[in-house]
Amino acid sequence: MNKISEIKDAEELKEPNVGFRFLFKQDQIQSGAILFLQWCLAPEVVQYLKENKVADVQVFITVHNTHGKETRYVAPLTSPQELLEFHCPGKHEISGTVVWGDDLKRTVNKFLMKSDRRHYEYDSEKVITKFDCTSFGKAELSVEVPDGFFAPELSPHESWYVNLWYGEPAWDECEIRRRRMLAYTVQSALLAVYIPIIFVMRLIYASFVSGVLLRKDVPWEAVVRPFVYSSADIWDSGERRWEENPVKRLILVPSNQIMMIVMSIVISSIIVDWTAFSFLVLPVVYVIILAIFVALSSSWLEKWFAEDFKRYMAEREKRLLAEALNRSYSELLCTTAPADGTLRTKRQGFKNNVVLAFQDFKAYVCRPAALH
């Protein structure tokens, strides 16, 4: 494969909005807190991708809002468009690049990986070179998001209850509706059972840790505040009075005690009633043996009888992929893209049209939530 840097006018095409640029409708951002984003490539870049049969190409998109918070998206290059959601009013800086390579899947995972709820693990530019992928072109875009197009905010108390068992707040109006529906039906019923059970279990656990294991400074708040403290806090926050001894740890650590009790029950059940044990376990053993036999037989049949069929399917898939790439890449030429606006969205393929219809529907009924 030739290097992308060897194509004609490579240095010029690397400049922002030259070899790769974003497309969008200027008036769209004035009517909502969403953006239907498309992109196009210079003819030289499209020709390079075709000639070198680069099949898996992704667009890495980074959005920085007026508060400096970063949001990342990844979309296939041949995707008809990407729906961006903004969660606060003000200026947003959008940048993107085209990425491909042998380790692309891993690079995508690292690009989207977060170290916590607000921050990403890797730098958006360094992650591409770190995992041996190639990037080309840089698209830049700045949009001003108006106020008044966000989902209604919940009260602090309702927000806490609705988002109780989720790692982060809801991102749009549809997710808020779904969470509210579950919160006032299923969640309420579960909490009516969960709270008494967790109270009794933690009370017994804290009493055991404090009285039997002789640990002081046990946080009794964890018993009555189940959503602020976890059960592990009862053990981790206490101070040990007994010395570090492997034998004592084996006997006294609660997890080891539980395992010893469970193993005692299992062994007793086997000794007392071998027939019942056989009735439960032997069918499982038979199923495992049968699964192993089928797996080995399938491998043998594939090895001896399916080589020709696999070769035919591989060649057919390669030919169809090349034809699809030629059609898809040809639709991405900047020479046919408008200066203001987007490419035609009704591209070839039923799947693309379904994706576009879903995005249009979601944009209509699901306003983004304002996140602070």
Q: Is residue 180 part of a domain?
A: yes
Q: Note the pLDDT of residue 95.
A: 94
In this structure, are 177 and 103 located in the same domain? no
Residue where one domain finishes, among candidates 214, 241, 268: 241
In this structure, are 33 and 72 located in the same domain? yes
The CATH number covering residue 44 comes to 2.60.40.10
Q: Note the pLDDT of residue 75.
A: 92
Q: Is residue 316 part of a domain?
A: no
Quickly state the pLDDT bin for 178 (edges 50, 70, 90).
very high
- Mean per-residue pLDDT of the chain: 77
Long-range contacts of 330-338 (CB under 8 A, 24+ apart): 330/46, 332/39, 332/40, 332/41, 332/46, 332/77, 332/78, 333/40, 333/41, 333/43, 333/46, 334/21, 334/40, 334/41, 334/42, 334/43, 335/43, 337/23, 337/40, 338/23
With contact defined as beta carbons under 8 Å apart, do 95 and 135 qualify?
no
In this structure, are 26 and 81 located in the same domain? yes
b/e string for 47-64 if b means 16 or more Cβ within 10 A? Answer: ebbeeeebeebbbbbbbb
In this structure, are 20 and 91 located in the same domain? yes
In this structure, are 107 and 230 located in the same domain? no
Q: For the segment 289-331, what is each residue's pLDDT rounded down to a tens digit?
A: 666 656 655 555 555 555 666 676 767 666 666 666 666 777 7
Checking if the pLDDT of 29 tops 80, the result is no
CA distance 74 to 113: 12
Among the ranges given (5-19, 94-108, 126-140, 306-320), the one the predictor scored with the smallest mean pLDDT? 306-320
Q: For the segment 184-239, what is each residue's pLDDT rounded down to a tens digit?
A: 999 999 999 988 888 888 888 888 777 666 666 777 888 888 888 887 787 776 54
Checking if the pLDDT of 262 tops 60, the result is no
In this structure, are 13 and 143 located in the same domain? yes
Q: Note the pLDDT of residue 290.
A: 64
Quickly state the pLDDT bin for 63 (edges 50, 70, 90).
very high
With contact defined as beta carbons under 8 Å apart, do 79 and 342 qualify?
no
* 266: Cα separation from own chain's centroid: 39
Place of tokens 């209850």: 161
Q: Read off the pLDDT of each residue in 103-119 and give the average, rounded to a whole number.
A: 84
- Cα torsion angle, 146, 150, 155, 161, sign: negative
Q: Read off the pLDDT of each residue in 24-41 and give the average, rounded to a whole number.
A: 83
Question: Which domain does 352 fall in, by range?
Answer: 4-149+325-365
CA distance 94 to 124: 13
| Strand intervals (E) in 20-163 | 20-23, 34-41, 58-64, 70-76, 82-85, 90-100, 134-145
Q: Note the pLDDT of residue 11.
A: 84
Among the ranges given (94-108, 194-208, 330-344), the one the predictor scored with the smallest mean pLDDT? 330-344
Place of tokens 């203001």: 340
Q: Is residue 142 part of a domain?
A: yes
Quickly state the pLDDT bin for 148 (edges 50, 70, 90).
confident
Q: Note the pLDDT of residue 182.
A: 93
Percent of the chain with pLDDT over 70: 69
Q: Is residue 279 part of a domain?
A: no
Quickly state the pLDDT bin for 2 (edges 50, 70, 90).
low
Residue where one domain finishes, among candidates 241, 263, 292: 241
Number of domain units in the chain: 2
In this structure, are 170 and 135 located in the same domain? no
Query: CB under 8 Å to 152, separation ≥6 — which residues?
Result: none
Q: For the segment 74-92, what is each residue's pLDDT rounded down to a tens digit?
A: 999 888 788 898 999 999 9
Q: Note the pLDDT of residue 294.
A: 60
Q: Note the pLDDT of residue 198.
A: 87
Entry pTM: 0.66
Question: Reduced to 3 states, what is the DSSP secondary structure of residue 65?
Answer: coil
Between residues 232 and 14, the one the model is more confident about: 14
In this structure, are 134 and 163 located in the same domain? no
In this structure, are 137 and 226 located in the same domain? no
In this structure, are 144 and 51 located in the same domain? yes
CA distance 179 to 165: 10
CA distance 262 to 271: 14
With contact defined as beta carbons under 8 Å apart, do 173 and 180 qualify?
no
Range among 6-15, 215-224, 349-358 with highest mean pLDDT value: 6-15
The pairing of strands 58-64 and 34-41 is unpaired
